[in-house]
Amino acid sequence: MRPLLNKIFILLFLGTILHLAFIIYYPTFKMWKFDRDIASTSVNKIIHSDKVDSNSRTVIRPSPDLLYSVCAYDASYSPVVITSDVLNTYWAMSFYASNSDNYAIINDMDINSDNVKVYLFGPNSKPTKINDGYAIFSPSNKGAVLIRRFLGNESNIDELYKNQETLTCDTLDN
């Protein structure tokens, strides 16, 4: 009887480990898939989205009230530098780790300037003193930066599209 119980216990234990591994790594898989679909050839490059509509299938539940840009970053070998003009309306730069955690957000209310420069350091980077921008520390070497702009009543939509063009995302080495 006892060997059978031991066997059942071991099988339950291993099943639970497998279940937890799936739960833990599923978000990382989804981020990896997003990187592969969106940015496989464009790491550390900005990709702009047009206004989302019913044909938009990249991200589930997209907001039609936002104009998006995204940079899939890789800070393994060098910090990544992101620059942009900042809008007077809602404008936010959100930083996502490889497990999809939103570990930092900078928005227009945080910035007392018309533009912003962000130095994004990977977990193995040596901290560097930054005098001309924000220093953000990513918990993973890879991840994504998502920029959201509020479309409102779209009276300033040209300005929002122009704002997309001011965005850069590149390694510090370049």
The two structure tokens encoding residue 19: 């279940």
Task: Give the dihedral of Cα atoms 83, 86, 91, 97; nearest 10 deg.
Answer: 20
Give the span between the Cα atoms of 137 and 92, in whole angstroms: 17
Q: Tokens 């890789």 — which residue?
A: 74
Q: Is 30 in the site for other proteins (CB under 8 A)?
A: yes
Q: Draw the binding track, 111-140, toward other proteins (x: CB under 8 A; -: no contact).
A: ----------------------------x-
Quick one: which segment of 71-79, 103-111, 123-131, 164-172 binds other proteins (CB under 8 A)?
Answer: 103-111
Angle formed at CA 65 by CA 88 and CA 29, multiple of 5 degrees: 110
Quick one: which segment of 27-35, 113-121, 128-136, 160-168 binds other proteins (CB under 8 A)?
Answer: 27-35
Q: Is 165 in the site for other proteins (CB under 8 A)?
A: no
Quick one: which segment of 40-48, 54-62, 124-132, 158-166 binds other proteins (CB under 8 A)?
Answer: 54-62
91-97 and 115-121 strand pairing: unpaired
Q: Do residues 91 and 67 touch, judged by C-beta distance below 8 A?
A: no
Q: Is 16 in the site for other proteins (CB under 8 A)?
A: yes
Q: Is 60 in the site for other proteins (CB under 8 A)?
A: yes
φ/ψ of 161, rounded to 5, equals: -65, -40
DSSP H/E element including 84: strand 80-85
Q: Is 6 in the site for other proteins (CB under 8 A)?
A: no
Which stretches of the chain bind other proteins, using CB under 8 A?
Answer: 11-12, 14-16, 18-20, 22-24, 26-27, 30-31, 34, 52-57, 59-65, 90, 92, 94, 96-97, 99-103, 105, 107, 139, 144, 146, 150-153
